[in-house]
Amino acid sequence: MTTAAHASSTAVGAQLLASATSYTCTMLGRVRDSDLARRTPCERWDLAALFAHMEDSLLAFTEAVTGAVSMRSPVTGRSSVEPVRRLQTLAGELLGAWEPPPERGATRIGTAPMATSLVAAAGALEIAVHGWDVGEATGGADPIPAALAGELLAVAPVLIGPHDRGVRFAAARPIVAGASESDRLLALAGRRPAPRR
């Protein structure tokens, strides 16, 4: 792939990051202090634990702009006085770091290279799905926007492999006939979309 093609595909990835972040910040805006102990669709995680994971993820995808992401152990048990504001601040820093999108073709994840455009798409997938998790934990998420979900569906089979099941994602769930792009993406990510309210 040429440098121009790399730059173009990375720009698309950066747009996905922006869309996913916008959606997730909307879901975060509904969280109240009293919600932090609520269970989430992520097995064994309450909302406070999910926020700690999301903080680590946002930091890692921001670090990716430098061309490498260190494989550090996740921080557990983090306590933040204002976790929602912290996540919103980190989301803004993430978007600032990816504007303009980096022109390099590959980013090193630990010791393995990965296409930078795919790193951006992985970030968008992570952010969007966890945004939905936040919404579900606090009374019901809006669907992931159709255009965003459709773009992520195209790359999700590359980003969610068999080795990710039971580690990063639960087993895929059946996709019902006529399911929306959002519900199809969530099923692929191991979520059971709630009936529309």
| pLDDT tens digits along 161-185 | 777 766 778 888 888 888 999 999 9
Mean pLDDT calculated for residue range 65-89:
74
* Residue 164 domain-assigned (yes or no): no
* Residue 192 domain-assigned (yes or no): no
* Residue 156 domain-assigned (yes or no): no
Mode of pairing for the β-strands spanning 112-115 and 68-69: unpaired
The burial class, CB within 10 Å (0-12 / 13-18 / 19+), for 122 is buried
- Contact, 23 vs 17, CB < 8 A? no
* Residue 195 domain-assigned (yes or no): no
Distance between CA atoms of residues 194 and 173, nearest Å: 13
CATH number for 74: 1.20.120.450
* Residue 161 domain-assigned (yes or no): no
Range of the domain at 80: 3-145
Q: Which residue has the higher pLDDT, 187 or 73?
A: 187
Distance between CA atoms of residues 146 and 155, nearest Å: 15
Residue found by looking up tokens 């989430």 in the block = 40
Q: Is the pTM of this model over 0.75?
A: yes
Per the structure, how many domains does the chain have? Answer: 1
- Report whether pLDDT(87) > 50: yes
182-109-158 Cα angle (round to 5): 35
* Residue 39 domain-assigned (yes or no): yes
The tokens for 157 are 């089979």
* Residue 197 domain-assigned (yes or no): no
Q: In the prediction, which pLDDT does 4 show?
A: 47
* Residue 162 domain-assigned (yes or no): no
Q: Which residue has the higher pLDDT, 147 or 178?
A: 147
What are 135-144's pLDDT values in tens digits? 999 998 999 9
Q: Which residues lie across from 39 on neighbouring strands? A: 46
Q: Which DSSP symbol is given to 105?
A: S
- Report whether pLDDT(97) > 90: yes
